[in-house]
Structure 1
Amino acid sequence: MDRLDLRSFVDRIRVLVDASPPTSFLETRSWLVDPLLEALGWDVHADSCFTDTTIADARLEYVLGVDSTPALFVAVEAYPDDLDVERARRLQKAMARTGVDRTLYTNGRQLVLVDGADDADHLTCPLTSIADREDDLAPVSRTATSRRLEGETGELAARRIAVRRSDLEASIVDDLTAIAGDRYDDVCRVSTERFLDHLVVSLVDSPPAIDGSTSADGSPAADGQETVLEFADPSTVDREGDAASDPAADRSAGDADEGEEYVVRFFNERGSIGAIGHAQSDAALVHAVEFLFDRGLSGLDVPFRSDDDEGTVLNDEPVCADGSPMESPRELSNGLYLDAGGDSTDRADRILALVERAGLRAMLTGAWSGQTR
């Protein structure tokens, strides 16, 4: 890609749009988006490109790759339509779940470049001004992308699996169910999900430990060392309403035996992104939810309920949706209130519901019952 490629592209589309702007999605895609990708050095007809697919609930017109490694997501709206904030959120979720770190989103009028290496690194500009943004667009050119993906690493292998995970999972489950029988479909599905989780962990260059492989802000540890997220000291947790003073109540709340913690390990589709642990299940719930908000959980309408929980999980006041007080409200750092009541199974269900809402996966180990989603 050079400045002449972009300048020539901009000159052509200005003439086209001035004469007869696209009126449909197909015209936008063929008249504007395909030529844009060509100017950036991509061949939308190459074997490494697949089209019109959905990944992690995000609809994609193109997944462009270098050889067999997915490298760039492209999403398109019709020229007359505005860009969709909700779709943009889903695109970011798909990036987080797969490790594909660049996305272009355009309606032929505005162009948004999302750089997954930094959640705040977004470029938004009129499509007709991109010739002046060469430095910003250079990272998504075919040439620069090829350089970035040179060599073979476990992380790139994990990315390839992540992008095709739905197909892989369905195929494996079908094969296993055909042998085991339909009544074991759920068991085969859960086992396959766990297998793929462990597979992508084993493929990354720096396998994470159960106590976390991310920095305190949730980003990967820069030097490859494992940064521990420690939440095991009961003195650091608001224990109001906790049953610690009553051993019988401790047992009914599902607290861990001495020396065993409630551990939640979090995954995106590339592997583990961190973990929390605590000797008490209510505190583990609080820390898990704080971790999810730190990792970008957003868009929740309060009061929030999980599908499996009739009660209110989160609200902006310490009350349930029906106005009754929460059983065990805990105020989070963002000002929302979390109901930490119930037993360990109830708390596990709330964690898993919020993990799913965040577009992540979790494995609950230690004193939990080994639930995963």
Structure 2
Amino acid sequence: MPSFDLGSFVARAATLVDSSPPATKQETRRWLVEPFLETLGWTVRADSCLPDRVVDETHLEYVLTVESVPALFVAVESATESLDGTRANAIQSAMAWSGVDRAIYTNGRDYLLLAGSSELDYCALELAELEANESVIATYSRAALGQQLGRHTRAHVARQLAVERPALTDEITDRLTDAVAQGEVYADEFASATDRFLEQLLVTFAEYESSRPNADTDTAADVSVQFSESAITDDSQSPPSGSVSSARSDSSGPEQDDDVASGDAEPETRTDENAADTDATDSDHATGHSDTDATGADSTAATDDGEYVVRFFNERGSIGAVGHSSAAGALVEAAEYLLERGLAGVEVPWAPDDDGTTVLNDAPVRADGSPMDDPKPLSRGLYLETAGDIDEQAARVEALTERAGLRAMVTGDWEPK
């Protein structure tokens, strides 16, 4: 475990809070948060500390990096303010989107420690409890995260793209605007296209295999942590909304000691529209497909040993993803996900267009009464047509998502190799 003088920091910070507490967020950052980060071995006055960055439309006061790879998100409120549940869940969403698996949300008096990305664990501590939980705090130190990021992976690229995406979008848009006559007329189109490109590039480099819960058995839980004096609140003073998993991803994440349990509320399990859901299933992944087989025959039909991922977006950004080893299975998972998020009100029988194949019905038949080719039952008493090749199934995913008022991106083995 890294060695650092956490006791001295707690003593100094407690004296400061009791005698002359910071009155602004800037003072909280300078007098409480930055000394805490320095205690953990981070250098906040170096190029490795990126101040005031936006990830997935979530503002972060610090992004701490290890050899340019984002390792730790830090969000700050003024010492005079409570931690906000809405922001806590936005941080969780930024972690799920970027793959950065450590974050600290603090006002200098209270500390919400988040660990994991698609499967999230959290620990709520007050300032006086930090020293007693040094083993938990140590997992957020420069030494510990530096060791964790010692081997370069494609996921590290995804982390960097997530953090640098706003700046890259602006830079590329400016270059495109300057490159063509009257480019300013098309600047908005350039920016939109560039942002979509970077979004897909980020998804391509993300490691779906790591820390992926099983979609059939794992559920998400709200960040409903509360301190003894309601340090985390939202606008309605109710527990924070959003979704994280209450299961601990590994032994390196936050661990709840008995003596701090009284400061934490048990997470409430539910599904929320703004949650960043699991990226895909835990066991259904392997190889891809090609357009033709050895005989030249078309082989775009779904296989059962691939990785078919669907990521969902609203106007704000990524809100979750599902996946399966077959395209038909991913289509079913996507339909179930969407039934919780706007698709449930669809009138059946439903087809993507007036002349198209019936996709959803309350019986395994088409609108004309003929049987569906490959119907699969859904949880709400509906049946989903899953027959067709990969392109048809991908189009069906996109049509269902659009009907729910969202946007879908299919990746993995949906795309021909």
TMscore range, shorter length: 0.5 to 0.7
Runs of at least 5 residues in structure 2 that lack an aligned partner in the other structure = 216-277, 289-299, 303-307, 349-359, 363-376, 386-394
1:131–1:227 Cα change, 3 Å: farther
In structure 2, distance between residues paired with 1:162 and 1:190: 16
Of 309, 314, 323, 1:274 maps to 323
Pairing 1:144-223 to 2, within 5 Å after superposition: 144-179=144-179, 181=183, 188=190, 192-193=194-195, 195-197=197-199, 199-200=201-202, 203=205, 216-217=214-215, 218=278
- Secondary structure of residue in 1 paired with 2:41: coil
SS where residue 113 of structure 1 aligns? Answer: strand
Change (3 A) 1:272 1:291: closer
Helix, strand or coil for the counterpart of 2:130? Answer: helix
Contact 1:54/1:60, CA 8 A, preserved across alignment: yes
C-alpha separation in 2, matches of 1:80 and 1:186: 40
| Structure 1 residue 50: Cα displacement | 1.0
Could you tell me how far apart the structure 2 residues matched to 1:68 and 1:144 are?
16
Tell me the equivalent position of 2:334. 288
Decide whether the 8 Å contact of 1:64 with 1:70 is kept in 2. yes
Secondary structure at the counterpart of residue 125 of structure 2:
strand
1:347 aligned residue:
400
Distance 1:68 1:365, change over 3 A: closer
**Helix, strand or coil at the partner of 1:90:** helix
d(CA) in 2 for partners of 1:30, 1:336: 56
In structure 2, the partner of 1:25 is 25
Matched, 1:362 2:412: no
Relative to its length, the structure with more helix (as a share) is 1
Alignment-mate amino acid for residue 102 of structure 1: R
In the alignment, the residues of structure 2 paired with residue 184 and residue 365 of structure 1 have an alpha-carbon distance, to the nearest angstrom, of 32
Cα deviation 1:279-299 (Å, max 9, x = unaligned): 9xxx94x64253468xxx9xx
Is the alpha carbon distance of 1:204 and 1:98 closer, same or farther for their aligned partners in structure 2, counting shifts above 3 Å?
closer
For normalisation by structure 2, the TM-score amounts to 0.57
The CA deviation at 1:134 is: 1.0
Give CA-to-partner distance per residue, 1:197-217, whole Å, 9 cap, x none.
5544654678x8xxxx96642
SS in 2 for 1:75: strand
Structure 1: 5+ residue runs without aligned partners? 229-258, 305-312, 320-327, 356-360, 368-373
Correspondence for 1:90? 90
Q: Distance in 2 between matches of 1:76 and 1:70?
A: 17
Query: Once the 2 structures are TM-superposed, how far is the Cα of residue 20 of structure 1 from its aligned partner?
Result: 1.8
Give the equivalent residue in structure 2 for 1:130: 130
TM-score by length of 1: 0.63
Taking the aligned partners of 1:89 and 1:126, their CA distance within structure 2 comes to 19
Contact 1:214 1:226 in 2 (8 A): no
The match for 2:106 is: 106
Does residue 140 of the first structure (1) align with residue 143 of the second (2)?
no
Determine the C-alpha separation between the residues in 2 that align with 1:122 and 1:9. 22
Which amino acid in structure 2 is aligned with residue 349 of structure 1? E
Counterpart-to-counterpart distance in 2, 1:364 and 1:203? 11
Whole-Å separation in 1 of the counterparts to 2:55 and 2:200: 20
RMSD across aligned positions (CA) = 4.6
Shift in CA distance, 175/204, structure 1 to aligned 2, threshold 3 Å? same
Choose the corresponding residue for 1:226, options 286, 297, 313: 286
May I ask how many residue pairs the two structures share in their alignment? 294
Check 1:223–1:39 CA distance in 2 against 1; reply closer, same or farther (3 A cut): farther
Which whole-Å CA distance do the structure 1 matches of 2:87 and 2:381 have between them? Answer: 25
> Is the 8 Å Cα contact of residues 266 and 273 (structure 1) preserved in structure 2?
yes
Q: Percent identity?
A: 38
After TM superposition, list the pairs within 5 Å mapping 1:58-73 onto structure 2: 58-73=58-73
- The code of the aligned residue for 2:286 comes to E
1:233-257 per-position Cα deviation (integer Å, ceiling 9, x unaligned): xxxxxxxxxxxxxxxxxxxxxxxxx
